[in-house]
Amino acid sequence: MKKTRLKEIEWPEFGKNVSPLQFSMNELIERISKTREMMDKNNLTHLVVYGDREHFANLKYLLNYEPKFEEALLILNLHDDPIILVGNECVSRFKASPLYIGNRLRFELYQPLSLLNQPRDSSRQLKDIFISEGINSQSRIGCAGWKYFSEIEHHAPDHAIEIPSFIVDTLREVSKYENVINSTQIYMHPESGLRSRCSASEIALFEFSTVMASEGMKNLVFNIEVGKTDFELIRYYNYSGYPLNCNTGMTCGGNKHIGLANPEGYIIKKGDPFSTNIGYWGSNCCRAGWIAENENDLPGHAQGYLDNFAGPYFSAMGEWYKNLKIGVKGKVIAQLIDDLLPFEEFGIFLNPGHLIHFDEWLSSPVYKGSEIEIQSGMYFQVDVIPKSKKYFSTRMEDGIIIADRTLRIELQTKYPAVYERCMNRRIFMTDKLGFELPDEILPLSNIPGIVPPFFLNPNQIFSMDT
């Protein structure tokens, strides 16, 4: 590994996207078509896609629609335009979908998807809806939610289905138990899932989201002051109103033993650990370190933080980036981090990198023994999380795209400003921070690879000897 050192570096300016992109009807039709190809490959006659406020991403991907407050259910067969079942308060929302505007999406009001005690007297029974969509005893129906299972987790993983029981039970009543299976992998499997590889338009949208998150992080870091409360600090994210995909967390000493902690009025104190994150749809930006100007401000047990913990982490992430190439198997990346940052010292428990999409965690090709190869279009969260009772943590958590030459050319042609920003971020990471980046890596964050160990001295950041 390269040696690291702290260096006085001004945080760069890369510019911003203006507004979020809306997917075209043709792109959504193509996604429906790819879904049907996967259905045919898996011998499915029908697919039901469930969504709610938390688990919205598959519906967003297919329809450019997500339910508010309520649940929703999309039903597809191999031939007809899909039908969306919505509750009382979402009847007006889904009509913004380009598929509906283009007369390629049917809908029906199904009031049991609404909140409790709202009107329930204007809907057909779910059983009758399924039958009218051609589901019968000969049908084979896939259910897509937000999770699928393996034999390690369940004795019958194909039939372990996480979407609401009243939907699954009704499908099994209309068809047969063995005909209703978990098909979430159609969208979320790290190797074959349709959302595991991004198009140029998805990259442009996720760059918009990541820029918002990273610019908010930059603004917050440069406004950290001793004596402020976490409530005061959180305002520096300049939250835009764009939907969040995960909890906006803040750990600042008083709640340091609570995972994914919320701001609760804690006061920022010198010598305390600090971490925070903000994630919009398609992004999550996180940094962790200490409320300090230098290592002299750290408590006694944390002395050596730079040499023994944060520095080795930064060096190891240099190797992580260097090896994240198309064709490399996930097990290679997992073993690399396991070797460079031993669990006994760095406590990395979760996957050293995972895929992100609209939802903060899609799935991951990086785990022990993974034979899944890194592919063009994968959108990686640089999410390698070290933890220590002595040293707390450190982080450079942002999003990057893996793009082969064809995808890079497409992005450059369709979204030249996005492509140029990605290229400028690469130059900063290589020339200023010392990373060796494969050609296929496109950083989406405006603070790419920046790790300030001491938040009261934010321009002192890590770099590697070149």
Q: Quick: pLDDT tens for 277-290.
A: 999 999 999 999 99
Cβ–Cβ < 8 Å for 443, 420: no
Query: What is the pLDDT, as a whole number, of residue 253?
Result: 78
Residue 12 pLDDT exceeds 70: yes
Non-local (6+) Cβ contacts of 343 within 8 A are 349
Q: Are residues 378 and 453 in the same domain?
A: yes
What does the pLDDT average to over 172-179?
97
Q: Are residues 450 and 341 in the same domain?
A: yes
Query: What is the pLDDT, as a whole number, of residue 95?
Result: 83
Number of domains forming the structure of the chain: 2
Containing 84, the helix (H) or strand (E) segment is: strand 83-86
CATH number at residue 410: 3.90.230.10
CA 357 from centre of chain: 4
d(CA 315, CA 298): 22
Q: Are residues 171 and 213 in the same domain?
A: no
Q: Out of 14-28, 147-161, 378-392, which region has the weakest mean confidence (pLDDT)?
A: 14-28
CATH number at residue 114: 3.40.350
What does the pLDDT average to over 186-193?
98
Query: What is the pLDDT, as a whole number, of residue 243?
Result: 94
Residue 302 pLDDT exceeds 70: yes
**Judging by beta carbons within 10 Å of its beta carbon (0-12, 13-18, 19+), is residue 366 exposed, middle or buried?**
buried
d(CA 214, CA 286): 9
Both structure tokens of 382: 């640089």
Query: What is the pLDDT, as a whole number, of residue 466?
Result: 64
Q: Are residues 220 and 299 in the same domain?
A: yes
Task: Name the nearest CA neighbour of 231 among 248, 208, 210, 206.
Answer: 248
Domain containing 265 equals 4-16+196-464
Whether this model's pTM surpasses 0.85: yes
Q: Are residues 359 and 432 in the same domain?
A: yes
Instruction: Among 160, 182, 204, identify where a domain stops.
Output: 182
d(CA 190, CA 360): 14
Per-residue pLDDT band at 92 (split at 50, 70, 90): confident
Could you read off the pLDDT of 221-259 as tens digits, one per residue? 999 999 999 999 999 999 999 999 999 999 987 777 777
Residue 147 pLDDT exceeds 80: yes
Query: What is the pLDDT, as a whole number, of residue 293?
Result: 97
Query: What is the pLDDT, as a whole number, of residue 94?
Result: 81
Query: What is the pLDDT, as a whole number, of residue 430?
Result: 97
Strand partners, 200: none
Q: Are residues 377 and 243 in the same domain?
A: yes
Q: Are residues 143 and 53 in the same domain?
A: yes
- What are the two backbone dihedrals, phi and then psi, of residue 447, each rounded to the nearest 5 degrees? -125, 55
- What are the two backbone dihedrals, phi and then psi, of residue 267, each rounded to the nearest 5 degrees? -95, 135
Residue 218 pLDDT exceeds 70: yes
Mean pLDDT of the chain: 96
d(CA 404, CA 83): 36
Q: In angstroms, what CA-CA distances link 439 with 31, 77, 405?
A: 28, 41, 8
Higher pLDDT, 16 or 217: 217
Q: How many residues are listed for the chain in this entry?
A: 466
Q: Are residues 234 and 303 in the same domain?
A: yes
Residue 431 pLDDT exceeds 80: yes
Cβ–Cβ < 8 Å for 181, 142: yes
Q: Kindly tell me the sign of the dihedral angle through the C-alpha atoms of 342, 347, 349, 354.
A: negative
Could you read off the pLDDT of 305-360 as tens digits, one per residue? 999 999 999 999 999 999 999 999 999 999 999 999 999 999 999 999 999 999 99
Q: What is residue 75's three-state secondary structure?
A: strand
Task: Name the nearest CA neighbour of 175 among 133, 203, 147.
Answer: 133
